[in-house]
Amino acid sequence: MRFKKAMSIERKAMSNKKERKKKFKIIFFSLVSAFCFLFFALCSLLSADFKDRVVAFVDNDAITLSELEMKYYDTVKVTSDITQEEVLNTMVNRLLLLREAKKIRLEAPSEDELLNEYIDLKIRAFIRIKEEELKDFYNKNISKFEGKELDSVRDDIENYLAEHEVNQRLKAHINELRGKSCVKIQLNGSRGN
């Protein structure tokens, strides 16, 4: 009887040992599977970050490669010979101007309208074309006006000279804003200020 009891205890012990091994294998393979899933999920997230890297910083604002590529793709449709660097610089300048417009609490329905309002207020409002400038431009370019009198082309000349002056002052203003900001461009390994 003792022998049967001992055998029965031994069988139970072996059965328990097999069950523990089986449970261990199930838990082990579950953990390995979960680890592999997390590892591959993390790898895919990391590779997504590498694909969408930051190409420019303007103080605490970042411009990503995907944003640049989208803007470049849209711009090339209109201006086919533009470079990515030119588009990126335009994006940086736009960010600087929008930030300034928001600092002085300008509001508009769209960013484009906000930029126009800012440029009108900060730059265009201070431009005055003098009569001498009109006459001088007319006289230097008289052949382009096909015999038209100054009075008939006065508005066109004034608009041209005003837009030219706006562009010059806007470039100077943007350079001033860039000087006051931390701008870092990291496109193709280049760094700029």
Give the model confidence (pLDDT) of 45-83 as tens digits: 665 545 679 999 999 899 999 999 999 999 999 998 999
Residue 193 or residue 29, greater confidence: 29
Give the phi and the psi of residue 63 in degrees, each rounded to 5: -115, 125
DSSP 38-91: HHHHHHHHHHHHHHT-EEEEETTEEEEHHHHHHHHHHHHHH-TT--HHHHHHHH
The whole-number pLDDT of residue 109 equals: 95
The whole-number pLDDT of residue 191 equals: 43
Number of helices (H), then strands (E), belonging to the chain: the values are 6, 3
Q: Tokens representing 92?
A: 């940086």
Percent with pLDDT over 90 in the chain = 61
pLDDT digits (tens, 9 = 90+) for 103-153: 999 999 999 999 999 999 999 999 999 999 999 999 999 888 888 899 999
Q: Tokens representing 71?
A: 């803007």
pLDDT digits (tens, 9 = 90+) for 154-163: 999 999 999 9
